Structures are given as structure tokens and as C-alpha cells.
Amino acid sequence: MNYSVKEITERLQAQFAGSADLSVRQFTLKSKAKRSAALYTIEGMVDKEGLAQSSLNPLLVYDFGSQTAAQTYQTILHTVLASSDVTEITEEQLIAFITSGFAVLALDGAEKLLAIGVQGYAFRGVSEPESEVVQRGAREGFTEPLRVNMSLIRRRIKSPDLVFEQLTVGKTSQTQVMLCYLKSAASPYLLKKLRQRIGACNLETVLASGYLAEYLEDPHTSRLFSGVGISERPDTVCGKLTEGRIAVIVDGTPAVIIVPRLFVEEFQGVDDYSNRTYYAALIRVIKSLSFGVSVYLPAVYTALAQFHPEYFPSWILIKTARSLSQTPLPVTLEVLLITFVYEIMKEAGLRIPKSLGHAVSIVGALVIGESAVTAGIISSSTLMVVATAAICSYVTSPLYPPVTMLRFVFITVAGLLGLWGIVLASAVVLISLCSKTSLGVPYLSSLSPFSWRTMRDVFVRANWKTLSRHTIKVQNFTETEER
């Protein structure tokens, strides 16, 4: 099929319906045939200076003489264009390329179009991610452009074993998604399953990695805890790749998906591998205890105060009873109310401008805290318990959403059934965790099914000499093992 510049331009303008950001630069090549050509770009997506120097100026200056359309096309492809990124495409791919920042060249009588890489859109620079701050380690975090994120990973793993596999999701947005993995470490079965799930995504638009996360979860398993990991740190992603994990990079978002995800990884951090082994073990123990305190402390306090006051030590019982007797609300409703108010304050602190953040903190501390206790609306012991649980929940920040939901559920059950309700709810949660999988891999791997070999990097971390001899990977997982 020989293309016509006039017909391509008319069809493209009809598809964009007069959109102001579509740019069409038509010109005539210096040749005896006076052959027409056109460059199609999207305003704000290309580097205009680079486009002029690498493509437009050479095309206008070069004398093609009496060459045919096919000869002119080959001369442009191999001789005229100065860009290092030139791809032959068809008209069906035209929109996808120009909306990705390419300039597409159409030539009368040619059988293909040429996509020229001259991307030049503005983006946020590489900076340290606020959600994953470390004491030791790199201060680089992922940013929005897909190619920049790929380069951050490639800089750390300089091996041809590292593969970037491109996919497209979103019927309307046509968002580029990149699967990143090590050929020698990743399981082919897990890769196949991941491709199938991404291909089954029928969303019209995919604007962030969270859009894909639900499609990557295993069906018929608990959705309270996520089997999909999220990270904004290149060093974290590279570490997971060496363990056989697969990273999913979504264009336009700095959050990279890591699958499969295990429960024990929620208590691990980059600093664990930079500090001494004994200190890393201490930090992991603190994280595990904080998780338990954030979930159980308000519920246990509610159950003891309402059903089992005899379990309190006498000196605590007297003070707690005196404090609760001065408040008008039942202890269960009081704990739920304070927890709910705290969640409102947290959301307010996240959403309002930073300049008003201190005002919210002051209002919360004075009005909700001291003034409410002084007025006798809430008890000081209840406020202390809820505040302690809230602080502990931030120690394991990736688990904050499920911890928040479990806290409300456990408080309610404790207020209705006491300690037996907490035991019953704990059994339900434990069964849910044991039955959950991430891409077919048991979510509680290392703990259930138990493995001594992998326990060297769970609650404690072995030294690097030991870890280097026993690298933990998921590459041997097969379909037979899942069944």
C-alpha cells in the first residue's frame, strides 16, 4: 500500500476532530517530482529544537534529484535523518506513536511511515520518595516517565539477563506497561499468568498502577491484605528482581508493582540490609510487635474494660474505672468514636495544604485531646490506648489500610463478645491469610508452609555471606505445585 500525505492528514484531523494540540507540518522535498511530505506531532510532547535539527532541516536541505518514492524513502531512513531512534510503522500505529511523543513522517508514495524519537515533554525530576525514606541507601526514587524509570533499574543491573517487555493497556488511554524481570530468576509460569491477567484488563483508561493491582490479585482469595507490592525505590525493585519477582512499571506513575508479594515482606525494609544483622533483627521484631499492638490493643482494652475488669492490675483498675465513670459514653462506643475521629484528622492532614497542616495538629491536640478529657467527654485512658495504637500502625505503613479495617472490626467484636470475640475474629483472619495466594504463591510462605531455609531472612536477617550462598527465589514454582 502506497500512502498519500493528503489522505493521511485528512483522516488524522478527522479523528482528532480539530483538537488544538495536533500539529501537522506539510512541506515539499527538493526533488524533480516535487514529492510531498508531512510531520505529525502533538504539541508539548516533542522537543521542537531537536526535531528541527535531526529531521526537518535535513529534509528541507537534501536534494533527492530524480529518485522514486521508494528510493526517497530509503534515502531518508538511512541517510537524511540524524535521529538515533527511527522506527518504521503503519498508519494503524500512527496515533499511538504521536501521542507518546514521537514525530511521524509521511511521504507520498511510500509504503510505511517513519516514527522519529524526539520526545521532549516536561516531567518531575528524580528525587527521594517521601513514602519510603531510608537512613542509608540511595536517595533516588521513581518518577512518572516510563523510560526514566527503566533507566533507573538498568543502571543498577547492568546485565543482558534483565528484560523489559512492553504491553499496552486501556482501550482509550493506551497506557504503556513494562514487565521487568531477570530471565534466569523469574518463573516462566508466573510470567505467563501475569501476561494473561494484564491482557484481561478491560478498563478504558489506566492512569496509575492501582488500576492494575486488582487485576493481578488471585481470584477467590482474601482482598483484605494485598498480594501485590508497591514500591517507589529502584533499589528495592532491583532486590526483588534478583529473588525472582516480576516488576510492572506503568507509564505516568512513580509506583512500581512487584509480584508475587508475601506477608513477611511487609516487615522488611531497605535499611535492614544496610545495618548490622542484630539491629536489623531488632527492627523487624519492633515492626511485628507494633503490628500486633495496632490491631489488638484497642480491642483488648475494650473487652477488659467492659467484660473482664478483673484482669486489670488493681492500681490500673482503680484509675481506669475512675476515668471511665466520668464519661457519658459506653467504653465500646467511646473507643470507636475516638478511632473514627483520629481517621478524620489523618485524612484532613493529608488533603489540606501543607501550610495548614500545623493548624490541624494543634486543633487535634488541644480540642480533641486535652479539652475533651478535661470536659469529661472522653477518658484519658481510652485516648492513650487509641493514640498508642495509631502510632504503632505507622511503623508498618504498607499495612495501614488492612490494620485500620481490622482495628474497627476487632473493637466492635470485643464490645459484643469480649475476649472470645477477639479470639474468634483472629481465627477468621488467620484462616484468610493461610488461604491467600499471590500469583499462586502462598501468601504466608516461609511461615506456612514452613521453611527453615527461608527463615534466615524473615524475623532475623542472616549476614551477607550466608545470604549470598542461599539466595531465596520463587523461580521453581510450577503449575503442579499450585494445584
> Tens of pLDDT along 301-320?
999 888 888 777 777 777 77
User: For 243-276, b where at least 16 C-beta lie within 10 A, e where not — what string?
Assistant: bbbbbbbbbebbbbbbbbbbbbbbbbbbebbebe
Q: What's residue 413's pLDDT?
A: 95
* Residue 447 within a domain: no
Based on the domain organization, do 50 and 97 belong to the same domain? yes
Based on the domain organization, do 328 and 429 belong to the same domain? yes
Query: How many CB atoms are closer than 10 A to CB 390?
Result: 21
Domain that holds residue 181: 146-261
Q: What's residue 152's pLDDT?
A: 92
Based on the domain organization, do 197 and 344 belong to the same domain? no
Is pTM beyond 0.85? Reply is no
Q: What's the one-letter identity of residue 98?
A: I
Q: What's residue 355's pLDDT?
A: 62
Based on the domain organization, do 297 and 255 belong to the same domain? no
- In which order are the strands placed within the sheet that holds 246-250? 162-169, 175-182, 246-250, 256-259, 229-231
The angle, 0 to 180 degrees and rounded to 10, between the axes of the packed helices 331-351 and 380-393 is: 50
Based on the domain organization, do 187 and 312 belong to the same domain? no
Among the candidates 98, 117, 136, a domain finishes at 117
Give yes or no for a contact between 57 and 39, defined as CB atoms under 8 angstroms apart.
Answer: no
How does pLDDT run across 153-204, given as a tens digit for each residue?
999 999 889 999 999 898 888 888 999 999 988 989 999 999 999 988 888 8
Q: How far, CA to CA in Å, does 314 sit from each of 214, 255, 324, 343, 368?
A: 50, 50, 15, 32, 29
How does pLDDT run across 261-295, given as a tens digit for each residue?
989 888 888 887 878 888 888 888 899 999 999 99
Specify the number of domains making up the chain.
3
Based on the domain organization, do 390 and 291 belong to the same domain? yes
SS3 173: coil
Based on the domain organization, do 332 and 212 belong to the same domain? no
Pairing of strands 229-231, 256-259: antiparallel
Based on the domain organization, do 312 and 237 belong to the same domain? no
How does pLDDT run across 454-476, given as a tens digit for each residue?
777 777 777 777 776 655 455 44
Below-50 pLDDT ranges, the chain? 472, 475-483
Among the candidates 76, 97, 117, a domain finishes at 117
Based on the domain organization, do 92 and 156 belong to the same domain? no
* Residue 127 within a domain: no
Q: What's residue 364's pLDDT?
A: 64
Q: What's residue 449's pLDDT?
A: 75
Based on the domain organization, do 296 and 429 belong to the same domain? yes
Give yes or no for a contact between 54 and 82, defined as CB atoms under 8 angstroms apart.
Answer: yes
The secondary element (H helix, E strand) that includes residue 70 is helix 69-75
Based on the domain organization, do 283 and 430 belong to the same domain? yes
Q: What's residue 478's pLDDT?
A: 44
Pairing of strands 30-31, 246-250: unpaired
- Please list the alpha-helical segments (H only) found in 175-325: 188-199, 209-216, 234-242, 277-306, 314-325
